[in-house]
Structure 1
Amino acid sequence: MLRGLLSVVLMLLLGGSLLAAEKPNFVWIMSEDNSSHFLKLFDPTGAPTPNIDALADQGLVYEHAFSNAPVCSVARTTLITSCYAPRIGTFQHRKSFMVPMPEGLKMFPAYLHEAGYYTTNNSKEDYNAKKSADVWDNSSRKASWKNRKSGQPFFHVQTFTTTHESSLHFPAKDIQDKPTDTDPETVFIPPHHPRTKTFKYTYARYHDRIQEVDRQIGQLVDQLEQEGLLETTFVFYFGDHGGVLPRGKGYAYETGLHVPLVIRVPEKFRDQMPEKIGSRLDSFVSFVDFGPTVLNLAGLKVPDGIDGHAFLALGNAHLMQTDEAFGYADRFDEKYDMVRTLRKGKYQYVRNFQPFNFDGLMNNYRYKMAAYREWRELFDAGKLNQTQAQFFQARPAEMLFDVEADPYEAKNLANDPQHAKVLAELRGRLNNRVAGMPDLGFYPESFLAENAADNPVAFGQQHKDEIAKLLEIANLEVLSFDEARSNLMEALGSSDPWQRYWGVIACTSHGKSALSLGKQLEAIAQSDPENLVRVRAAEFLALHAEVDPAAVLKKAIADAETATEANLILNTVVLLQDGQPGYEFDFQQSDFQHLKGSRGELDRRLEYLIGK
């Protein structure tokens, strides 16, 4: 009897071990701050990466993989939640407030953890949503799969900082004193950058960093092989968003969103994969899809309520494929913007909701890079061609690019009659996405912090009709002024402050054409009951009617309650000071002492405007 019982127990234990052994392991390798343009595997102008190439030979290359956001915290939060950031309130970088996960959802590694996986992260998190205790067994610089139980399947994330933006924060003397392994005379400089000594050196130095991270990736893969784990482990390699050369990281262009993605398929599971090993796939995948894909490969249910879908499966499961990718860019450190993108097939549609906020607007951390500083100096000196100068000028509300013919998005096709049908289709598709979420970016950050932080998803659903109306007003930007005029007047006279807010922004986007509404805008600047609406009206008058905004903006700072609100006001100050025609402001540190809340981004602005 005892012997029989022991046999049953032994069989159960062996069965459990076999079951564990049948479950695949997963390793995610992320290199910081590099787009697909920097790897020869994806672009002939990129750096050689023999170790990543070896993963590709034994797996799959994704030609169209996208970070949904072009900056760390928003991109990484999208990855870990499998949810679009503007829907769940995690779209600002750096966060001024943390939000909960959507009701009923966890960050996806928690589902692996519940299923018996050992989950580890080494080590960057940078999430804008609150993390539960069951997401990681260990998240630290010492985290590794090595501490799991015998036979326990694992999911491990490894971030390499070698290619981070800070690697290009070198003193100008390095150009002479520290030669690069890559010959600066051989590197490709895209058309939006000037081909100067500084830019050539910066590109060459970054190619060196790409090759160094490739070496580190090779060492990590060798570890897995030496421990006998490689043939049961799916290895994902990808960049965490676009590259750090100017107009990459932080900006919703291909260079900020299009990432390299290679997935090495372990030998044990290759016969269960419908895809041919070594192939290059054209289907579009985005960061919202990565978590569901891992869960699917692990044999786990993908939770309802997320935005992504699995793009790989064991067996012959039919998976959804798409040729679309949705992107978003909002506050990036202290610099505000609101951009939404839709890549469909070979076309990239870019919707600049505040097009007068030019890309090159001051952002302290960006301008630590010598190439950024030189680019701006050359613009100020009038030494750039139009393609190179665009970074420092107001943008159109709509841009359309054929990224196969024009990979660096230099030729805007939005006004080309031959592309009118494509423009209308992509505009409609993007509007449907934004309204359907709904997108919380139509409210100022300070308003969301006060009213939506406890449950952004519920707030969005409760205000879905209001957000649709704000989108409708914002879309008056893409009409001619004559077509938009009556609706703009209605928005400016609305009892809803955010309808007035977007009405003013739309007027500013129309420029001098909207001067016929100048009297109404002057009244708003002087007496609107909402502080931020007054600021936007002063912005219009300063840009297009040559009305000095200093008094209105000084009072707006005095009336502001939080550092977040004041930082948005200072975005207008920097725009009007550094852009044309240029205004002078006389702020003192004492003007900001009364403000509540986190001051990190505000202090960055004040450092630039008035010094420490």
Structure 2
Amino acid sequence: MQPQQFQWKVVVFVLFYATTFYSQNDTKKSLPNIVWIVSEDNSKHYMKLFDENGVATPNIEKLVEHGLLFTHAFSNAAVCSVARSTIISGSYAPRTGTQYHRRNKLVPMPTDLKMFPAYLRDAGYYTTNNSKEDYNFIKDSGVWDDSSKTATWRNRKNGQPFFHVFNIETTHESSLHYTKEEMESLATITSQNKNTIQPNHPKTKIFEFANAYYRDKHVEMDKQVGKVVSQLKEDGLLESTFIFYYGDHGGVLPGSKGYVYETGLHVPMVVYVPEKYRDFTPFQIGGTVDGFVSFIDLAPTVLNLAGVTIPKQLDGKPFLGKVITKKEIESRNTTYGYADRFDEKYDMVRSVRVGKYKYIRSYQPFNFDGLTNNYRYKQVAYQEWEALYEAGELIAIQKQFFKPRKAEMLFDVEADPFETKDLSSEASYKKILSELRNKLIVWEKGMPDLSFYPEFYLIKNAFDNPVAFGQAHKKQIKDYRTTANWMLLDYKKAAPKIKEGLQSKDPWKRYWSIIVCSSFADKAKSFIPEIKMIEKNDTELINKVRAAEFLGLIKVKNPSKVMLDALYATKDATEGLLILNSITLLNSFDYGFDFEIEPTKIQAIVQQDKLVQERLNYLKKKR
């Protein structure tokens, strides 16, 4: 056969195959369309579909009639950029270097892994996003056909399958950024006396209003969901399109967004299943799915629905599509959560929920939940909560938001949905506590969790390839995690280890040893001489600051000079931000140390950073 004859035969075959495929489009199964309708900043607690204390959302409820209600759907992060980075990559953020919000440096996708819509495009899908991205990754050009406020599936080629994301901002945190004066002129549709205020919130007019107004926003959001569904119906696409509705992480009433509590992670999720694809799920249409699904599972699920090979690097597993069994989905009972930096506020918290039990591990428990974050505190309700604490007008359960946490906590979230009763010290829960603690350790080890290094160090040394850095430094990360877990030991057992750690040649082992001392607080007073030596002589500025922080927390020495000297000395804005977190902590009501910051002494590159400016402005107002 001549080469030209062979080429023509190939062309004829391809055309015949394509014609056959698209003719089957009408009679048999073609590739399904997939639409995500994503509402911002709302946990499942405010919708009647999921919680009796919620409001009716008839358009979302109607999707369930022809689909599935997921009772245990979870974001892995309680803030948008980290949650969305988890979704777009199908990977845990502390493994990929995308765990900080807002990012100080974009990181590349893991080697040989694309943002998942790129695989859909390769398979012939038209991919559109309307319009929020907010990824902590460097984005390549092959992800979306259109990502804009005008993006729509209607611009695809005739017969082309599509993946479309529609983002709804109505329930976003900023919707509660009204002033007290503005609040007086606002009305609510939802009765302000109807909804139960969660037990750790003060029961005041301001909190009653916020609860009602926020629920009104859910009603408004539901109408927007209905609009998108109507457009699909108008285009004759309902019988060929999977429609996912979910919240992009938890809610925004105080103590939700930014925290790994259920109100920060447990999201509403509903999936409409078109008639011709009902064999893509083993569950009865109109029913509920109680197995756990997390944001790491969204990418592999969409790829599986589209018949695309799922990359091995993904951390999640599909929950819809071919070869999905009811038994396997129902057996899923575990989800992990993480919280690191939120704007200018630092923390490091990890969580694991198994069934009804939730384990929360605070690696810097002295960084109390209510430590000021400017964006959070634009809410009048946050402002009032803090003011009532300072005035001594809160009951014990409401005060806890402004007190140091325990290093580990355990909750029965079915009996105690707002995580107010810590079970970690109760003898009858000792076995469960140990099991969940070990499960979390195994997960952290498997990633490995990059946050055992300070962020500024990661930016300089790891963020050109975070995953490779993590693999190359697994041994060191394991050592730092082991060091951090000394705070879980009885102090007498921990003390010899701490002494050795404070004298280590490894600066990050010293770093964690100091933090362990701070977590033990007064119990660790015997290490004051060693800590003072670190405060004076350590080669790392941040270790001097951590040493001063310990001495300030136990109120044996004013930390201001050491901390301010470090702030003036650093030439790294991210390190400066971490130093300012300690300054803000020790300036807060329960410590009350005064810091007379001289901005002209701060290095220009540090002072120009937007988040540094947020902290400096706050501290200036406090004086």
The CA distance in 1 between the partners of 2:103 and 2:589, in whole Å, is: 27
Distance 1:554 1:272, change over 3 A: closer
Q: Deviations over 1:484-539 (max 9, x none)?
A: 00000111000000000000000000010000111000111111111111100000
Of 552, 570, 574, the residue aligned with 1:560 is 570
Secondary structure at the residue paired with 2:605? coil
The CA distance in 2 between the partners of 1:591 and 1:242, in whole Å, is: 40
Unpaired runs of at least 5, structure 1: none
Q: Shift of residue 307 of structure 1?
A: 0.6
Letter in 2 for 1:577: N
The CA distance in 2 between the partners of 1:76 and 1:20, in whole Å, is: 33
Distance 1:566 1:157, change over 3 A: same
Task: Spell out the pairing of 1:243-254 with structure 2 (5 A cutoff).
Answer: 243-254=251-262
Q: Shift of residue 176 of structure 1?
A: 2.6
Distance 1:386 1:316, change over 3 A: closer
Letter in 1 for 2:353: R
Secondary structure at the residue paired with 2:613? helix
- Tell me if 1:366 matches 2:376: yes
The CA distance in 2 between the partners of 1:468 and 1:366, in whole Å, is: 33
- Tell me if 1:292 matches 2:300: yes
- Tell me if 1:547 matches 2:557: yes
* Equivalent residue, structure 1, for 2:20: 15
Letter in 2 for 1:141: K
Distance 1:418 1:290, change over 3 A: same
Secondary structure at the residue paired with 1:193? coil
Give the conservation status (yes or no) of the 8 Å contact 1:274–1:315: no
Q: TM-score, normalised by structure 1?
A: 0.97
- Judge which range, 109-118 or 557-566, deviates more: 557-566
Distance 1:316 1:440, change over 3 A: closer
Give the conservation status (yes or no) of the 8 Å contact 1:118–1:154: yes
- Tell me if 1:117 matches 2:151: no
The CA distance in 2 between the partners of 1:598 and 1:562, in whole Å, is: 11
* Equivalent residue, structure 2, for 1:585: 595
Number of aligned residue pairs: give it: 609
- Tell me if 1:446 matches 2:488: no
* Equivalent residue, structure 2, for 1:105: 113
- Judge which range, 192-201 or 17-26, deviates more: 17-26
Please report the RMSD computed on the Cα atoms of aligned residues, expressed in angstroms: 1.8
Unpaired runs of at least 5, structure 2: 1-8
* Equivalent residue, structure 2, for 1:55: 63
Of 172, 190, 193, the residue aligned with 2:201 is 193
* Equivalent residue, structure 1, for 2:509: 499
Letter in 2 for 1:455: N
The CA distance in 2 between the partners of 1:416 and 1:317, in whole Å, is: 38
Q: Shift of residue 316 of structure 1?
A: 5.7
Letter in 1 for 2:206: T
Secondary structure at the residue paired with 1:173? helix
Q: Deviations over 1:373-413 (max 9, x none)?
A: 00000000111111111111100000000000000000000
Distance 1:260 1:484, change over 3 A: same
Give the conservation status (yes or no) of the 8 Å contact 2:46–2:55: yes
Q: TM-score, normalised by structure 2?
A: 0.95
Distance 1:180 1:336, change over 3 A: same
Q: Shift of residue 13 of structure 1?
A: 4.3
Q: Shift of residue 149 of structure 1?
A: 0.3
Give the conservation status (yes or no) of the 8 Å contact 2:344–2:615: yes
Distance 1:341 1:7, change over 3 A: closer
- Tell me if 1:204 matches 2:249: no
Task: Spell out the pairing of 1:525-544 with structure 2 (5 A cutoff).
Answer: 525-544=535-554
* Equivalent residue, structure 2, for 1:398: 408
Letter in 2 for 1:542: G
Give the conservation status (yes or no) of the 8 Å contact 2:280–2:305: no
- Tell me if 1:513 matches 2:551: no
- Tell me if 1:576 matches 2:586: yes
* Equivalent residue, structure 2, for 1:326: 336
The CA distance in 1 between the partners of 2:509 and 2:15, in whole Å, is: 69
Secondary structure at the residue paired with 1:61? strand
- Judge which range, 602-611 or 14-23, deviates more: 14-23
Letter in 1 for 2:544: R
- Tell me if 1:182 matches 2:190: yes
- Tell me if 1:132 matches 2:137: no
Of 402, 408, 429, the residue aligned with 2:418 is 408
The CA distance in 1 between the partners of 2:402 and 2:435, in whole Å, is: 29
What is the percent sequence identity of the aligned residues? 51
Give the conservation status (yes or no) of the 8 Å contact 2:568–2:603: no
- Tell me if 1:76 matches 2:81: no
Task: Spell out the pairing of 1:222-237 with structure 2 (5 A cutoff).
Answer: 222-237=230-245
